[in-house]
């Protein structure tokens, strides 16, 4: 028998609510109804129920995967023997996050190619995916459920053009697709002679697709142990569909998260060990996109640096995830201190890295049941298309006029241009002696944060070590000063992850959007716009969508480059917070 993950719970202040929630799930036959595909768990509306029934194929993914192991192993061997030493995955959201977990957490097999994931339209990120690599030894995996994802198709057009310019033989044989049957990507793959098209089950939504082709094809190319992945996910399926809460981690996890949210603790603080941090990104998307709608939801806080226990608010529930035999003294100390104060805490310990496959399934079941507890449909994403439509309108305007709409900044300070919707700017100006300095703008903006709320920092720039360091400093400073969680993501990546929650979830968030003047740009082949213009249109499109929902948002445009600009912003934030403390 495979070793199993262990889950320890400290319920604290939600103990009574948890007991009642678990009892309702058990007495209502939630697990039996889930196994029976009873859409009434989530909605009594016939149309909604029909749509839900077409999104439950993930329940059988472990068996589905096991049946396809020979096919996947054969394909991986074919790619290795052809001489490819690198795989570049082009995809967004559910098409990229599970592969990133497998790539950064899994143990690659001997002789397997390396795997890199490109999930950005940032020109520097696209260039980094090409720089220092041999395109003649690179195999491209183009992944999109809908087959029409603008980022993915733009990436494909660029890299196909680059490979074509090298005059390499068998151009189409350097590409494979993962998509749904009948999608535009499937048609493109056929027309352009891709080596292979993997048609995923249509009844599996993107964020629930980790154990289908979207996760399994990259895992196979990495040389991961597919038999172990299948066996661990099968074991997790058996446990997660047990009717008894005592034996079912997923059922208990759903009850805990639901009870916490109903008790005012809707900030799911994910504390993953460094080795497992990519799993935290995947959980963030799964929980946020599944629950963040209809004005409710659980808000994941992932990757936040640790701090003193008294700097965390009472609106949080904590889930720590680590590997057996790898203790974390600082995290253990924080758990003891917060639990002593009544904070609920769940600690999950994986026996080894192979168990990530089982953890995928546990969290999928838990999230589905959490939707039932919160009385929402966890299988749709009603607000995701809002930013997309805004972006498409901006690109259409660009194609007619040759440029994006010009906008006058509200302020310019330290090389940073400040933009805000009129209602937000009026709130910032009210009672302020001057709004000429970046420090004062940020001082007024951060004052909009309220207890129970959060700050989201959304950066449309390359994800580098320097950027991560600046954001870590900023997150720690804000959390420690005003006691609100600070969420951070990169655009357009976050649009396919937590973006749904930002528009459709609970109120109380304030949003700091950061854009940058790109030092170089890349034209997208076949289009009249560049990657930089596409990225800017996506930032402006989401900024407008946030405003439509009444979310206070501020945009900072870094005119002197990302690294220097982020240092400037982080320093101004620290000064703004210091001024708030002395006021």
Mean pLDDT of 225-251: 95
CA dist., res. 76 & res. 78, Å (int) = 5
| Residue range 370-389, pLDDT digits in tens | 999 999 999 999 999 999 99
108 burial via Cβ count (<10 Å: 0-12, 13-18, 19+): middle
Q: How far is CA 277 from CA 229, 273, 484, 501, in A?
A: 19, 6, 22, 21
**Cβ-Cβ contacts under 8 Å for 336 (sequence gap 6 or more):** none
Distance between alpha carbon 282 and the CA centroid of its chain, in Å?
6
CATH level 3 topology of 384-582: Rossmann fold (3.40.50)
Domain extent listing, the chain: 6-13+243-374, 60-229, 384-582
CA 114 to each of CA 87, 133, 137: distance values in angstroms, whole numbers, following the listed order: 6, 11, 11
The pLDDT value recorded for residue 278 is 96
- Residue 454, C-beta contacts closer than 8 angstroms, at least 6 positions apart: 267, 299, 301, 484, 485, 486, 487, 508, 509, 510
pLDDT of 498 over the 70 cut: yes
Mean pLDDT within 258-286:
97
* Contact assessment for residue 532 and residue 519, using Cβ atoms and an 8 Å cutoff: no
**What pLDDT is recorded for position 133?**
75
So what's the pLDDT on residue 545? 98
Asked whether 390 and 544 are in contact (CB, 8 A), the reply is yes
Query: Does pLDDT of 471 surpass 80?
Result: yes
CATH of the domain spanning 6-13+243-374: 3.40.50.10490
pLDDT of residue 244: 83
What pLDDT, on a 0 to 100 scale, did the predictor assign at position 30?
98
Query: Of 434, 423, 422, 406, which Cα lies nearest the Cα of 536?
Result: 406
Q: What is the pLDDT of residues 450-462, one digit of tens each?
A: 999 999 999 999 9
What own/partner pairs with CB < 8 Å and gap ≥ 24 does 521-524 have?
Answer: 521/123, 522/123, 522/126, 522/127, 522/158, 524/154, 524/157, 524/158
pTM of the predicted protein model: 0.97
Closest CA to 499 of 445, 549, 431: 549
Q: What is the mean pLDDT of residues 497-520?
A: 98
Class of domain 60-229: alpha beta
For residues 159-187, give the mean pLDDT.
97
Q: Whose CA is closest to 577, among 435, 494, 459, 475? A: 475
**How many residues belong to the chain?**
583
Instruction: Extract long-range pairs of 214-217: CB within 8 Å, 24+ residues apart.
Output: 214/91, 214/94, 214/95, 214/98, 214/99, 214/143, 214/145, 214/178, 215/98, 215/99, 215/101, 215/102, 215/360, 216/65, 216/68, 216/72, 217/72, 217/75, 217/141, 217/143, 217/176, 217/178
Which pLDDT band, with edges at 50, 70 and 90, does 360 fall under? very high
Q: Do domains 6-13+243-374 and 60-229 have the same CATH topology?
A: yes
- Using an 8 Å Cβ cutoff, are 374 and 37 in contact? no
Sign of CA dihedral 174, 177, 183, 184: negative
Percent of the chain whose predicted confidence (pLDDT) is above 90: 95
Are 216 and 74 a contacting pair, CB within 8 Å?
no
User: What's the pLDDT at 312?
Assistant: 97
Average pLDDT over residues 482-505: 98
389 Cα distance to chain centroid: 20
Burial class (CB in 10 A: 0-12, 13-18, 19+), 162: middle
Helices (H), 483-530: 499-504
Q: Alpha-carbon torsion 460, 465, 471, 474, what sign?
A: negative
Which residues on adjacent β-strands are paired with residue 277? none
Contact call for residues 40 and 32 (beta carbons, < 8 A): no
Tell me the sheet residues that pair with 316. Answer: 267
What is the per-residue pLDDT for 561? 95
For residue 4, the model assigns a pLDDT of 87
**How large is the average pLDDT for residues 273-295?**
97
Give the count of alpha carbons within 13 A of 563, CB side only: 5
Q: Using CB atoms within 10 Å of the CB of residue 370, give its burial: 0 to 12 exposed, 13 to 18 middle, 19+ buried.
A: buried
428 Cβ contact partners less than 8 Å away, ≥ 6 residues apart: 420, 435, 441, 444, 445, 448, 554
Residue 1: the pLDDT is: 61
Cβ partners under 8 Å of residue 111, min gap 6: 80, 223
In 88-133, alpha helices (H): 97-105, 123-130
Tell me what the pLDDT averaged over the chain comes to: 97
Sign of CA dihedral 302, 308, 309, 315: negative
Q: Where are the alpha helices (DSSP H) in 54-136?
A: 61-67, 69-82, 97-105, 123-130
Q: What pLDDT score was predicted for residue 245?
A: 80
The pLDDT of residue 277 is above 80: yes
Q: CA-CA distance, 580 to 576, in Å (whole number)?
A: 6
pLDDT band, very low/low/confident/very high, at 582 (cuts 50, 70, 90): low
């Amino acid at each position: 028998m495979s070793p199993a993950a262990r889950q320890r719970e400290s319920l604290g202040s939600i103990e009574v609510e948890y007991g009642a929630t678990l009892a309702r799930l058990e007495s209502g036959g939630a697990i039996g109804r889930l196994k029976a595909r009873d859409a009434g768990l989530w909605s009594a509306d016939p149309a909604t129920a029909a749509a839900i029934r077409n999104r439950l194929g993930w329940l059988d993914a472990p068996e589905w995967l096991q049946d396809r192991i020979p096919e996947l192993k054969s394909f991986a061997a074919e790619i290795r023997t052809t001489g490819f030493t690198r795989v570049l995955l082009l995809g967004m959201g559910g098409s990229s996050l599970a592969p990133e977990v497998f790539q950064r957490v899994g143990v690659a097999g001997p002789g397997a190619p390396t795997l890199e994931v490109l999930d950005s339209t940032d020109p520097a990120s696209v260039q980094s995916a090409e720089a220092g690599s041999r395109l003649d030894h690179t195999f491209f995996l183009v992944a999109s459920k809908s087959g029409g994802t603008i980022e993915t198709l733009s990436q494909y057009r660029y890299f196909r053009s680059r490979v074509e310019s090298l005059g390499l033989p068998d151009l189409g044989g350097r590409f494979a697709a993962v998509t749904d049957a009948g999608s535009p990507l499937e048609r493109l793959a056929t027309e352009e002679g891709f080596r292979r098209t993997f048609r995923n089950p249509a009844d599996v939504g993107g964020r629930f697709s980790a154990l289908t082709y979207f996760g399994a094809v990259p895992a196979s190319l990495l040389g991961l142990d597919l038999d172990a992945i299948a066996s661990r996910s099968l074991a997790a399926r058996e446990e997660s569909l047990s009717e008894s809460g005592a034996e079912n981690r997923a059922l208990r996890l759903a009850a805990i998260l639901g009870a916490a949210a109903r008790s005012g603790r809707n900030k799911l603080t994910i504390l993953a060990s460094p080795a497992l941090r990519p799993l935290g990104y995947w959980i963030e998307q799964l929980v946020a996109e599944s629950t963040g709608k209809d004005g409710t939801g659980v808000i994941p806080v992932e990757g936040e640096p640790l701090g003193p226990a008294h700097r965390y608010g009472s609106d949080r529930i904590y889930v720590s995830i680590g590997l057996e035999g790898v203790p974390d003294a600082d995290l253990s100390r924080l758990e003891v201190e917060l639990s002593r104060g009544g904070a609920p805490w769940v600690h999950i310990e994986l026996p080894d890295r192979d168990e990530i496959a089982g953890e995928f399934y546990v969290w999928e079941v838990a999230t589905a049941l959490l939707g039932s507890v919160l009385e929402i449909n966890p299988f749709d994403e009603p607000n995701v298309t809002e930013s997309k439509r805004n972006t498409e309108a901006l690109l259409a305007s660009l194609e007619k006029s040759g440029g994006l709409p010009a906008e006058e900044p509200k302020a310019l300070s330290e090389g940073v241009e400040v933009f805000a919707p009129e209602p937000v700017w009026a709130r910032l100006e009210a009672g302020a002696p001057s709004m000429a300095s970046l420090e004062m703008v940020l001082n007024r903006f951060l004052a909009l944060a309220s207890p129970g709320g959060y700050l989201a920092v959304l950066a449309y720039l390359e994800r580098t070590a320097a950027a991560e360091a600046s954001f870590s400093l900023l997150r720690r400073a804000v959390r420690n000063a005003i006691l609100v969680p600070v969420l951070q993501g990169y655009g357009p990546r976050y649009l396919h992850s937590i973006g749904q929650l930002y528009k459709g979830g609970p109120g109380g968030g304030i949003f700091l959007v950061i854009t940058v003047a790109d030092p170089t740009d890349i034209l997208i082949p076949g289009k009249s716009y560049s990657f930089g213009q596409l990225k800017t249109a996506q930032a402006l499109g989401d900024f407008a969508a946030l405003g439509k929902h009444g979310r206070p948002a501020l945009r900072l445009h870094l005119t002197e480059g990302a690294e220097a600009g982020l240092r400037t912003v982080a320093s101004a934030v620290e000064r703004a917070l210091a001024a708030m403390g002395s006021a």
